[in-house]
Amino acid sequence: MTHDRRDFLLNLLGLGAATATGSVGVGLFNQPAHAHSPIRPPGALSEADFLSTCIRCQRCADACPNHCIKATPETEGPVRAGTPFIQPREQACMLCSRVETEHLRCTEACPSGALQLIAKTLIDIQQKAQMGKAKVDLNLCYSYNDFTCGTCLKACPVGALKTGLWARPIVDVDACVGCGLCERVCIRYPHAIRVEPGERQRFDA
């Protein structure tokens, strides 16, 4: 009996040591959440909450009708590996516009609540889909450099791009949801208009 108890205590000690070592090890790679935050799917929690809530199951990636959500490869480190992200210049979020659905597909697919449910209505999308904000690079944009272009103006699904003189795009930051369709259609390489990820917050149902 005492032998059993000693074994148990030793196991407990081993357990504690392993947990402590592991916490330090994983903690080393747990960089500040806002550093290099990629663009997350619509309705994502704030980066720190998102990383601890997402279970890396890739259901949102499969559910996206536009195949814009990708899984982060393992080479990005153990903290980020498997989490979904969007590269708008490759494929942008079209806010499920051509699809019959009640809620945005990825938010409906998420089992863990890392993506908050968003109804497919302009009000709900503008309130909750906080993927980022578009930003124009004045050095690259054709319309700001003696050519008239205006391609991005037609791509915006929420009316966040206003036009100035000679089809120069001006971003209405309050209306922009960061879907990245403007970045996707930009004819300049490298793209002159880009989505920059911003702060996100939790919406209680």
Partner 1 sequence: MTRWLVPIARRCVQLLSLGVLMLLPIMALYMHFKEAHAIHDLGENNWRNVAVRGIERVVNKDESRQKLVQQTQGTIWSARLFGVSLSDPLAGAEAIISSRSFYKPMLWSLLIPVAVTVLLGRVFCGWICPMNTLLEVVDKCRRLLRIAEIRERDVKFSLKNKYLILAVTLGLVGATGVPFVALFYPPAVMSREVHLFVFGSTVGIGAYVLLAICAIELFVSKRWWCRYICPGGALYSLLGRFRVVRVERDENKCVQCGECVRVCQFDLRPMLVQITGMECTNCGSCVRACNDDALRFRWMLPVIRMTNDERPNDERRPNAEARTVPAQILRHSIFFILSSLVIGHSSLAHAHHILGLPHYSYKENYPQAPTLEYPATTGPYDLLMTSFPGHPVPGERTTIAFYIKDRNTGLPYELPVSLRALKTATFGENTLIFEPTVHEPTGNQHKYFVTFPDDGEYIAELTMDVEGKPEVIPFLMIAGEPTATKSVVIAIVAGLGVFLLVVRAIKLKRNRRRAANQRGAEVPHQPTEPLTTDH
Q: Tokens 């050519």 belong to which residue? A: 147
Residues 6+ apart with CB under 8 A from 157: 94, 95, 97, 179, 181
Q: Give the nearer residue to partner 1 in terms of CB position, either 108 or 177.
A: 108
User: Binding residue for partner 1 (CB under 8 A) from 2, 5, 15, 196?
Assistant: 15
Site for partner 1 in 165-184 (CB under 8 A): 184
For 22, 135, 136, 202, the CA distances from 144, given in Å and listed in that order, are: 52, 13, 10, 37
User: Binding residue for partner 1 (CB under 8 A) from 119, 122, 140, 167?
Assistant: 140
152: contact with partner 1 by CB under 8 A: no
10: contact with partner 1 by CB under 8 A: yes
Q: How far is it, in rounded angstroms, from Cα 84 to Cα 125?
A: 19
Query: From the CB of 172, what's the least distance to partner 1, in Å?
Result: 21
159: contact with partner 1 by CB under 8 A: no
Residue 87: burial class (beta carbons within 10 Å; 0-12, 13-18, 19+): middle
Q: How far is it, in rounded angstroms, from Cα 161 to Cα 176?
A: 8
119: contact with partner 1 by CB under 8 A: no
For 81, what's the count of Cα atoms within 13 Å in the CB-facing half-sphere?
8
Q: Give the nearer residue to partner 1 in terms of CB position, either 86 or 131.
A: 86
Site for partner 1 in 22-81 (CB under 8 A): 22-23, 25-30, 36, 48-49, 51-59, 61-67, 70-71, 73-79, 81
Total residues at the site for partner 1 (CB under 8 A)?
68
Q: Give the nearer residue to partner 1 in terms of CB position, either 80 or 176.
A: 80
Locate 171 and state its tokens.
Answer: 């971003």
Residue 75: burial class (beta carbons within 10 Å; 0-12, 13-18, 19+): exposed
**Residues in touch with partner 1 (CB under 8 A):** 7, 10-11, 13-15, 17-19, 21-23, 25-30, 36, 48-49, 51-59, 61-67, 70-71, 73-79, 81-82, 87, 89-91, 98-99, 109-114, 137-140, 145, 184, 189-190
